[in-house]
Structure 1
Amino acid sequence: MDTFVKVHFLGASGVVTGSKFLLETPEKNILIDCGMFQGLKDLRELNWEDLEVDVPAIDVVILTHGHLDHVGYLPRLLKQGFTGRIIGTAPTLAIAEIILKDSAKIHEEEAEKANKEKYTKHEPALPFYTTLEAEKTISLFQVEMPDKWIKLSENISYRFQYNGHIIGATFVELDIQGKRFVFSGDIGRPNDYLLDDPKSPEWADFLFIESTYGNKLHPKENIEETLAALIKDTIHKKGNLIIPSFAVERLQTLMYVLWKLYKANKIPDIPIFVDSPMGNNVLDVFKRFPKWHKLSTEEYDAMCNHINIIQSYKETWETIDDNRSKIIIAGSGMVTGGRVLTYLQQLIDEPSTTVLLVGYQAEGTRGRLLQEGAHEIRFFGKYYPVKATIKCVGSLSAHGDQNDLIHWMSSIKNIPETVFLIHGEPTALDAFRVKIENTYGWHVKIPKLNSVEKLRL
């Protein structure tokens, strides 16, 4: 008798964010990632809807890595009746814990602010989830090692393999009754400042691969020269260089590059402020898991000692009031929330300010609006004119580009039955589909959100 796996594409299908893939198998129901949608309002509103599957029947969640668009929906999953284990590598779960606690706090603060200042149509505005719900979620975490096959049931095993991208990130291989399902997670880049090169799968009957930059090659810019020039210009203008940054990996990479530039006498001793409570916690994860990155203890300590790490909101305002030219790195990377909003609210209307965007800006985010040349931007219910200079660099992206993705697939020895393209915007997905078909001749599908595929074992 034929047996099947039903794959539900509950997120990151036709869009970049909200990664969630449910595998209904004869033995276990397995959810790969459980992320929040980000960006366009229509997408963000999907976060408030219950999943169109039997959530209490899900046995286990396996996480590829700790980013919000891969873990941020977990507390809502518990609200819908999930009681199983949430499995990831040790750094992934450490990052996920930081992100869930931090975002719960932000959700609570934003709901409180919206209710107080009445800039919401919701009566009352509610947090997406609370700190208590985040802590309940974290209690279900279970650490597993990479490079080791782990049995889930009689005929199902899985393995984590190192994937670069951020600390702890992996791709996931699932063997189900002799068929191998490979979920790429987010694939990092070779020659990263902080991380080793990603490993690659050697076999895949069904491949689910991210396509964030499926239609692009990263620019061959020299990030160190670009940063040095921007810093000199900032000093010349007697202004501020504000870098909205993802708290995980990007922030630590920026710290490392700036410290390296200073050490090599390529930039003057300009004050550098890092304002990201979550980013500070992620620095501790680097300290706790030295085998997962390339920084030595000596380099790590020297870098942290060179940079002013802001500890309180009071210090945020002291930094804004500081008249010196300075570099401010603050969360969040797509300018969707976090401390960077306070700096931009105060400084984006000054021509002496430069804002440097250093990563992927999802459709519908303030970062994308700035990238596309918006003349005004909205913070906390009010519009502010954009008089600052907006700059973008693509070479610090933590995602592999089209060449990196094609190379990552090149170790696969068999011909996959189907390659599913996920985690990409429509133009990237289609360009990547054509590239894979032309390069390998493999059968490629682009699943739609909430579609279901029945795969024969």
Structure 2
Amino acid sequence: MTKPTLTFLGAAGTVTGSRFLLRVEDAGALVDCGLFQGERVWRRRNWAPFPADASRLSTVVLTHAHLDHCGYLPALVRAGFHGQVLCTPGTAALAAIVLRDAAHLQEEDAEHARAGGYSKHDPPLPLFDEADAEKAIGLLRPVPFGRPAEIGGIGSVTLHPAGHILGSAFAEITIGARTLLVSGDLGRPVHPLLAPPQPPVGADVVLVESTYGDRTHDPLSTDRLASTIRRTARRGGTVLMPAFAVDRTPVLLHHLKVLMDADQIPHLPVYVDSPMALAALDVYRRAIQERSPEVRAGLERDGDPLDPGDLHLVHSVEQSMRLNQPDHPCILISASGMATGGRVLHHLAHQLPQSRHTVVLTGFQVPGTRGRALLDGAKAIKIHGKYVPVRADVVPAPEFSAHADADELVAWLHRAPRRPETAYVVHGEPDAAWTLAGRLTGQLDWTAVVPRYLETVVVG
């Protein structure tokens, strides 16, 4: 019998594009199915032919609903995949929102490129369309936390709470007598809305993310955000927050409510301008109202924890356009979090040239994205084919990250019931991945490896 193998089709050498191919004899399954984001060298890989026969994969296991973990699924369907997609109920609810939005943006970006004449392709085509997304959504099979589910031809998977976003999980995959643990993205013990990650299970092989593998977060504090909002309001500006719709938006709304309730910031109108974020807010509100075990207890005691008081949910394009040039101080939360697409691009195009405004970057910014360019101090960024000067304040706020930092990752892995044979450090920029691998070797006495893109290893 041929031993099971694992091939790193993504999240190797970069922090996006999580795709891990498991093979047992002639059977295959994919753990996560994410889009590459950031620099062009990575984004081009989304367009490369899938390096396996997609029609012969029995299963995709999704750890959570972020685009870099689920966003390639419609493209995989277009390539012939028709199997089951196993995920938690929370991930199924959010992934449907994310995939529909991703398809819409793919089609919108292709149309912008066609109308603006700045594509190298004629005509510009989307990677996938809304029909592909709907087919992918139809394959989602929700599985409750802690309940094993069969992976055809491979074994079984059990999903455990990871505390990163609603529905996020780490995967315990059993292949015969062997166990593989895939961390997905691990959350933080201090997440204001979600319960901490459950301890890891014992495993022979571990795949662990390393987004912040070479850094530690400052203690969670809203002081910098509060002072930024006060300063911007005094000069009559807008605080624009590009934010990941499926987790960062609810977290920011909760922090804004706490700050306004305590009179630490002015009671400004807060606008949420992202169709995806509005749909995700409904999912989070349901989980809070139903007292989901994923959610921190007692959140609902002081009313809606996601309503700062003067909350405006922006639905129409006309409403969104009026927010390009607000005539009053306000807070505007819009997707996407790394300014790679969506309505936030129109707001940035209008507000970046004006010094009275502020842009607050509330999450990890992948190299090659507009968000990373702003973080690195760019004096102009390219939006819809044109360069826009940057005169607004740009304020980083990494303390709101939903990713475990290096210390939190090591502490979580230290709780594993036994030492694995090998730990593969993935989903991180090279410096972050190698730094975390060194800590696992030095502090935990593990064999830790940073795999190469398309490398195949034996896991049996």
The interval holding the TM-score normalised by the smaller chain is over 0.9
Q: What is the correspondence of 1:93-242 to structure 2 with a 5 Å cutoff? A: 93-152=92-151, 156-220=155-219, 222=221, 224-242=222-240
Q: Quick check: 1:10–1:51 contact (8 Å CA) kept in 2?
A: no
Aligned to 1:429: 433
SS at match of 2:434: helix
| CA distance in 1 between partners of 2:241 and 2:46 (Å) | 28
2:390 matches 1:392: no
**1:149 Cα shift?**
2.3
Aligned to 2:406: 402
**1:380 Cα shift?**
0.6
Q: Quick check: 2:241–2:333 contact (8 Å CA) kept in 1?
A: yes
**1:80 Cα shift?**
1.5
Aligned to 2:67: 68
| CA distance in 1 between partners of 2:123 and 2:306 (Å) | 47
**1:319 Cα shift?**
2.3
| CA distance in 1 between partners of 2:385 and 2:369 (Å) | 15
| CA distance in 2 between partners of 1:333 and 1:407 (Å) | 28
1:120-150: per-residue Cα shift (whole Å, max 9, x none)?
1110000111111100111111111101223
Aligned to 1:300: 304
Calculate the TM-score normalised by the size of structure 2: 0.96
1:24-49: per-residue Cα shift (whole Å, max 9, x none)?
01474221000000000111011011
- The total of aligned residue pairs comes to 454
SS at match of 1:289: helix
Root mean square deviation, CA, Å: 1.6
| CA distance in 2 between partners of 1:58 and 1:202 (Å) | 26
Choose from 325, 345, 364 the match for 2:368: 364
Judging changes above 3 Å, is the alpha-carbon distance between structure 1 residues 207 and 37 closer, same or farther for their aligned structure 2 residues?
Answer: same
Q: What is the correspondence of 1:14-53 to structure 2 with a 5 Å cutoff? A: 14-26=13-25, 28-53=27-52
Amino acid at match of 2:246: V
1:400-443: per-residue Cα shift (whole Å, max 9, x none)?
00011001111212221110010000000111111111111111
Amino acid at match of 1:130: D
SS at match of 2:324: helix
SS at match of 2:206: strand
Q: What is the correspondence of 1:296-445 to structure 2 with a 5 Å cutoff? A: 296=300, 299-300=303-304, 303=307, 306-445=310-449
Judging changes above 3 Å, is the alpha-carbon distance between structure 1 residues 302 and 250 closer, same or farther for their aligned structure 2 residues?
Answer: closer
SS at match of 1:31: strand
| CA distance in 2 between partners of 1:154 and 1:277 (Å) | 39
Q: Quick check: 1:65–1:185 contact (8 Å CA) kept in 2?
A: yes
1:254-310: per-residue Cα shift (whole Å, max 9, x none)?
011101111122112111111111000001111333303233286337717631111
**1:6 Cα shift?**
1.2
Q: Quick check: 1:262–1:269 contact (8 Å CA) kept in 2?
A: yes
| CA distance in 2 between partners of 1:354 and 1:123 (Å) | 38
| CA distance in 2 between partners of 1:304 and 1:260 (Å) | 7
Amino acid at match of 1:231: I
| CA distance in 1 between partners of 2:315 and 2:305 (Å) | 17
**1:395 Cα shift?**
0.8
**1:14 Cα shift?**
1.1
SS at match of 1:161: strand
Q: What is the correspondence of 1:259-274 to structure 2 with a 5 Å cutoff? A: 259-274=257-272
| CA distance in 1 between partners of 2:336 and 2:383 (Å) | 13
SS at match of 1:241: strand
Moved more, 445-454 or 291-300: 291-300
| CA distance in 2 between partners of 1:384 and 1:3 (Å) | 56
| CA distance in 1 between partners of 2:332 and 2:177 (Å) | 52
Q: Quick check: 1:107–1:129 contact (8 Å CA) kept in 2?
A: yes
Q: Quick check: 1:251–1:279 contact (8 Å CA) kept in 2?
A: yes
Amino acid at match of 1:263: D
Q: Quick check: 2:325–2:351 contact (8 Å CA) kept in 1?
A: no
**1:454 Cα shift?**
2.0
Q: Quick check: 2:325–2:350 contact (8 Å CA) kept in 1?
A: no
Q: Quick check: 1:27–1:153 contact (8 Å CA) kept in 2?
A: no
**1:153 Cα shift?**
5.5
Structure 1 residues without counterparts, runs of 5 or longer: none
Sequence identity percentage: 37
Moved over 4 A (4+): none
Judging changes above 3 Å, is the alpha-carbon distance between structure 1 residues 93 and 302 closer, same or farther for their aligned structure 2 residues?
Answer: closer
SS at match of 1:346: helix
